[in-house]
Amino acid sequence: MSKKENGASLILAYLNEKNRPYSAQDVFCNLQKQHGLGKTAVVKAMELLALEGKIKEKTYGKQKIYFADQAQFKDVNDADLKAMDHQISELSGEVQSLTQSCRQLDAELKELNSSLTTEEMVSEIRDLKAECSGYGARLEKIKSASNHITPEEKDKVYKERDLYVKEWKKRKRLASDMISAILEGYPKSKKEFLEEVGVETDEDCKAVLPST
């Protein structure tokens, strides 16, 4: 059988199997990947099949639609149609149920993939136990230390700190007032004055005044 005859046979079998209308473009897209048929070959084969009366052809505007010759199929009575409708309904329900089950299984699989494996859990537990043991040892060391600061000593340190900070602020304000008074009659800039007398400011030393 030639390639041309083989292509026509494939198209005829396809249209009879699907038994629904298709354009030449539809048939080409559906069969090209699996059978490697070219678009021109598909168009010519369908035109030839229609000319030979093996398939039917309808023209809608500029587009041609092809479908299987219905004379080859036996008539279907109302009872058969109802039976088919019932079967379609049952199969649709089954498809819906299976789709729901697949979604549920996909969700469970995603959750399992994001969970730790047994080996990872064992390793995690071992690491956490080691970490807890280290913290426990540090806690015991702190408890057994003899150099704890009493509340009274802590309070004394804070009071001394506040005193020193207040004194720092006081002396800084006095120094600032003195420099401002001198600069009123000084012919140069403040920066030049400080360099000349050798004064270093808190900013020069990057010293930050603590808050009280």
Summarised one tens digit per residue, pLDDT across range 30-62 is 998 888 888 999 999 999 999 999 999 999 988
User: At 59, is the secondary structure helix, strand, or coil?
Assistant: strand
Q: What sign does the CA torsion over 188, 169, 173, 198 have?
A: negative
36 closest CA partner among 48, 24, 28: 28
Q: Computed over its alpha carbons, how large is the radius of gyration of the chain?
A: 47
Q: How far apart are CA 128 and CA 77, in angstroms?
A: 74
Res. 5: pLDDT tops 70: no
**Domain parsing of the chain, residue ranges:** 3-72, 152-205
Q: In which residue are the tokens 């379609």 written?
A: 88
Q: What percent of the chain has pLDDT over 70?
A: 97
Report whether pLDDT(2) > 60. no
Q: Can you tell me the distance from the alpha carbon of 124 to that of 121, in angstroms, rounded to the nearest whole number?
A: 5
What class has domain 3-72? mainly alpha
Taking the C-alpha atoms of residue 24 and residue 33, their distance in angstroms, rounded to an integer, is 15
Q: Tell me the C-alpha distance between 144 and 55, whole Å.
A: 99
**Residue 116 one-letter amino acid:** L
The answer to whether 209 touches 165, Cβ cutoff 8 Å, is: yes
How many helices, marked H, and strands, marked E, lie in the chain?
7, 2
- pTM for this one? 0.39
Longest dimension (CA), the chain: 121
**Partners of 63 in beta bridges:** 60
- Alpha-carbon distance of 15 to 9, in angstroms, equals 10
Whether 209 and 172 have beta carbons less than 8 Å apart is answered as yes
Question: 4 falls in which pLDDT band (50, 70, 90)?
Answer: low
Distance between CA atoms of residues 195 and 175, nearest Å:
15
In this prediction, residues 161-171 reach a mean pLDDT of 88
Residue 105 tokens read as: 């299984």
